[in-house]
Amino acid sequence: METDFKLNLTQRPRRLRRTEGIRKLVLETAISKNDLIAPLFVKGGDGQPEAIESMPSISRLNLEDLIKECEELFSLGVSAVALFPQVDPSLKNDDATYATNGDNLVLRSVRAIKKALPDLIVITDVALDPYTSHGHDGVLDKTGSVVLNDPTVQILCDMACQQAEAGVDLVAPSDMMDGRVGAIREVLDESGYINTGIMAYSAKFASAFYGPFREAVGSAQAARTKLLDKRTYQLNPANRNEAALECRLDADEGADILMVKPAGPYLDIIRDLRNASDLPVAAYQVSGEYAQIHAAAQLGWLDLEKSRDESLLAIKRAGADMILTYFAKEVAKALF
């Protein structure tokens, strides 16, 4: 309906939304391929890729297929990958001894990737949950009920040094033990790996969104539950100030990059961190976030691509400099 009625407005914000060209001209936030880090799951042996039921389009890859995936990602402009192993149950024990085996799955993967693609940034997880028979991120006391902080950190330091020797660019302690960033930085420097960076999982919350990941790496099977209680070391989802404290401590201890995990439910924490720190901020769009978007799209409740892109845009707008996301390859293709 048209009338002669006119509002006397000095500003009409819709002028800058009128056409696609104008909307692009005033765009404030955009996702770039340079923002993306692709998490990848590697398994032992030479079998076919194993689809992860709760994570559509994501599979556990043998070493040969892992290299092919890295080559494709690199050709699409994704410059970084983060590796997570599915360790054979026979190699797991309470003390996670396979984590420091000099020929373990992660170390072989790093060497192979760096040989094939020297310029691809490789990030490795420093935590014990893929290696323990109980699924926790650290070793337990004699009662089996308490995760021991300092003995766990000692193992993590050994892991980080071996990963640095293999050629990794960034070690990423995800365990949430107290003091581990400073200890890892010290041992890396003393061992001559002064150029190996630390991407710290600084604000990692005890989230309900990790279930598909735990299935993928096998820690859920080890613990016989996807709901393993890690509240004695991962952050309380209710606590904003606690997250700020953890980030300050990691920065003081020598972290090069600070991370918030999960991303989508914790956009306020990402913004707090961006405002408080000059360090680069990473955010991990976790397996549960990925799974819920796919599940809703499969039911016809959401548009997959639009929901995917909006979720990533929100993370970037909140202040993340880089995003670990299982959507990395398909987003890179869309941006190609």
Active site residues: 204, 261
Residue pair 227/210 in contact (Cβ under 8 Å)? The answer is no
Q: Which residues contact 150 (CB under 8 A, 6 or more apart)?
A: 179
CA distance 215 to 217: 6
In eight-state DSSP terms, residue 47 is P
Inter-CA distances, 150 with 184, 242, 250, 281, 311, Å: 12, 21, 16, 27, 37
Extract the tokens encoding 36: 């993306």
Identity of the residue numbered 293: I
**Pairing of β 80-86 and β 50-51:** unpaired
Nearest to 66 by CA among 129, 123, 110, 131: 110
Whether the ω angle into residue 280 lies within 30 degrees of 0, i.e. cis, is no
One-character DSSP codes across 131-169: TBSS--SS-B-TTSSSB-HHHHHHHHHHHHHHHHHHT-S
Q: Token pair 């071996």 is at which residue?
A: 162
* Count of CB atoms situated within 10 Å of the CB of 151: 15
Q: Token pair 């032992």 is at which residue?
A: 44
H or E, element range at 89: none
User: Could you tell me what percentage of the chain is helix, strand and coil, using 3-state DSSP and rounding each to the nearest 5?
Assistant: 45, 15, 40
